[in-house]
Amino acid sequence: MNNEGERFRPIWIDHASDVVKVIDQRALPHEQIDMTLNSVEQVIFAIKDMVVRGAPLIGVTGAYGIFIALKNDKSNDNEAYIKNAAEKIINARPTAVNLSWGVNRMLTAVLSEQDPTRRIDIARRVAGEIAEEEVENSKNIGRHGVKLIEEIARKKPGQPVNILTHCNAGSLACIEYGTATAPIYAAREKGIDVHVWVDETRPLNQGARLTAWELGKYGVPHTVITDNAGGHLMQHNLVDMVIVGTDRSTYTGDVANKIGTYLKALAAKDNNIPFYVALPSSTFDWTIADGVADIPIEIRDPDEVRYIPGAPKSRDTLLVPENSPAANYAFDVTPARLVTAFITERGVCRACESDVKRLFPEKC
Ligand code: MRU
């Protein structure tokens, strides 16, 4: 694992050997294992099988995938080879827009140079820049988002601010501060009393396994709850705000995130609880206006629903009757009308086209 200062990184380059390493998130929280990515096939496997996951991290991994591809090129047509590798990497997972964003940015950078050897150096440098930008974005999301937590803290002196989150949008999903977690970590640094309700996030349990693990590592008070508990907690004034991440948000304000997010947004609306979505600009889709109709939703292996994974070296447990089929929709879309605001690296804005474009005028 790579520790840069106080927060850890789920991907890094080992400069001595010039290889890309990641934390194998499948093994957490039981074991901390690093994996080396040596080939495009390994990069695709790591993204598909969720060795790495979370939108910004998938984007950075895709970017490093281009670096790895270039290092391995033995073809006599470097440009055709790299375009083919890029397409395969982009197709590894469909929902997080960061993947195509990161890979396409790399393609533009490396193809501006003709010499294949120099292309490798450009790829190493630009992938690193993308990673550093995501670190900066996360810090700024924290800086802007913490004001929302402070506002609530002022209204309930002596009591913790209770924040509900879904899935993992933390250091493991991004780089260092995370997105949904960034305001929470910033609040802790300011000494604000916070407590996080962690949705377990069936079926792969990114909340129970990953968010709980990293909040624990950073000393943030938290409680893991079943995915269906949030509504009850909201009805009983036990949730002050919801903050989630996103895998792709439209410029009109619709938000794709881990399956179950939409139900949390509905419950928050019914209980008058603010529902915030934290995201870097790399997660905006500037081409899609209707998220429910047009954001591609990943459908994963039904066995992820049918079986409960065991701890390392123990067998998975079949949860359903042997012959019962299952469906595994990995994401849903929360319409803009249910989102109180976006927390971005440039500030907080309403989830609507005019406000988003005001923050990011260069994208219009
Ligand atoms: O399937 P995953 O684990 O890659 O999904 C991740 C999520 O849905 C996160 O909440 C989202 O990516 C935001 S990460 C900043």
Q: Which atom of ligand 1 is nearest to the CA of 298?
A: 1
Q: Residue 223 has what pLDDT?
A: 98
Residue at a domain's end among 78, 99, 133: 133
The pTM (predicted TM-score) of the whole model is: 0.97
Probe ligand 1: pick from 257, 332, 344, max atoms within 8 Å of CB? 257
Phi, psi of 209 (to 5 degrees): -85, -45
Q: Residue 305 has what pLDDT?
A: 98
Amino acid at 278: A
Residues 224 and 116 in one domain: no
Residues 297 and 271 in one domain: yes
Assigned domain for 138 exists? no
Q: Residue 5 has what pLDDT?
A: 46
Residue at a domain's end among 99, 115, 133: 133
Residues paired with 332 in a beta bridge: 257
CA-proximal residue: ligand 1, atom 8 (nearest): 258
What Cα–Cα distance (Å) separates residue 314 from each residue in 30, 180, 202, 317?
A: 12, 32, 19, 9
| Distance, CA of 343 to chain centre | 14
Residues 126 and 156 in one domain: no
Residues 223 and 300 in one domain: yes
Probe ligand 1: pick from 24, 206, 261, 301, max atoms within 8 Å of CB? 206
Q: Which two tokens stand for residue 324?
A: 């019962």
Which CATH number characterizes residue 35's domain?
1.20.120.420
- What is the distance in A from the centroid of ligand 1 to the CA of 172? 10
Residues 87 and 51 in one domain: yes
How many CA within 13 A on the CB side of residue 177? 28
Which CATH number characterizes residue 176's domain?
3.40.50.10470
Contact residues of ligand 1, CB 6 A cut-off: 53-56, 167, 169, 173-174, 179, 206, 245-247, 257-258, 330
- What is the distance in A from the centroid of ligand 1 to the CA of 25? 12
> pLDDT by residue (tens digit) across 306-353?
999 888 778 899 999 999 999 999 999 999 999 999 999 999 999 999
Residues 27 and 174 in one domain: no
Residues 293 and 336 in one domain: yes
- What is the distance in A from the centroid of ligand 1 to the CA of 80? 31
What residues make up the domain containing 32? Answer: 2-133
Residues 91 and 178 in one domain: no
Residues 212 and 168 in one domain: yes
Q: Residue 310 has what pLDDT?
A: 81
Q: How far apart are CA 311 and CA 132, in angstroms?
A: 33
Total tally of structural domains belonging to the chain: 2
Residues 331 and 274 in one domain: yes
- Show which residues are catalytic: 247
Assigned domain for 343 exists? yes
CA-proximal residue: ligand 1, atom 11 (nearest): 246
Residues 239 and 194 in one domain: yes
- What is the distance in A from the centroid of ligand 1 to the CA of 174? 9
Supply angle C-alpha 210, 248, 85, rounded to 5. 85
| Distance, CA of 189 to chain centre | 22
How many CA within 13 A on the CB side of residue 254? 18
Residues 227 and 199 in one domain: yes
Question: What residues of the chain score a pLDDT lower than 70?
Answer: 1-6
Which residues make Cβ contacts (< 8 Å) with residue 134, sequence separation at least 6? 56, 59, 60, 174, 175, 280, 282
